[in-house]
Amino acid sequence: MTRPVTDTDLAGLADLLAGPVVLAARGLLGCRLTANGVTVRITEVEAYAGTAGDPASHAHRGRTPRNAVMFGPSGHAYVYFTYGMHWCMNVVTGPDGEASAVLLRAGEVVEGLDVARARRPAVRRDVDLARGPARLCAALGIDRSVYG
C-alpha cells in the first residue's frame, strides 16, 4: 500500500524537477507513477540536457513542434512515438526556455498488475512488464494523449 501524496511531497517534486536534469533524474528513481489503473516504481532513467551539448537529446537542434514541451515548464510529459510502433515518455525538467528532460526507462509494477498483464499479454514474467521505455508506456497505457 502506498501512502497518500501530500502538498509537501508535490512542492518537493516541483523543486526537484525545476533543477538540473541529472539531479532530477536521480530524484525520480524510486518514485511512483500512476496512469490508467497501473502504478510503477521508477527503476531506471536517462537524463537529456537539451541543447546544452547533448546530441542525444531530441532538443539538441532546437525547438520543433515535436519537442516543444521540452522547453518547459518542468513537470510536463514529453511523449513521442518511436520506430513507428512504440510510445516513450520523458519528464520535462529545468527552467522554462531551457530544454531538458528525463526519459523514464523502466519500472516495477507495484499496483494494477492484472491491468498491466492485460496490456502486455505476451510477457511471460511480471518483472518484464515495464522493463524498457516502450514497455513502461504500454504497461501504463500511455500514448500521445499524455503529451504536455
> Using one digit for the tens of pLDDT, what is the confidence trace for 70-80?
998 999 999 99
- pLDDT of 54 reads 80
Q: Please give the average per-residue pLDDT across 84-88, as a whole number.
A: 89
Position 55 pLDDT exceeds 90:
no
Query: For the residues 112-125, what does the mean pLDDT come to?
Result: 96
| Residue (of 71, 3, 54) closest to 31 by Cα position | 3
Q: Are 90 and 104 in contact (CB under 8 A)?
A: yes
pLDDT at residue number 7: 46
Q: What is the pTM of this model?
A: 0.88
Q: What is the mean pLDDT of the chain?
A: 89
CATH code for the structural domain at 7-146: 3.10.300.10
**Residue 2 reports pLDDT greater than 50:** no
pLDDT for residue 78:
93
Residue with cell 501530500: 6
The pLDDT confidence band at residue 9, using thresholds 50, 70 and 90, is low
**Interval 128-136 mean pLDDT:** 96
Q: Can you spell out the DSSP letters for 79-116?
A: EEEETTTEEEEEEE-SSTTS--EEEEEEEEEEE-HHHH
d(CA 122, CA 134): 14
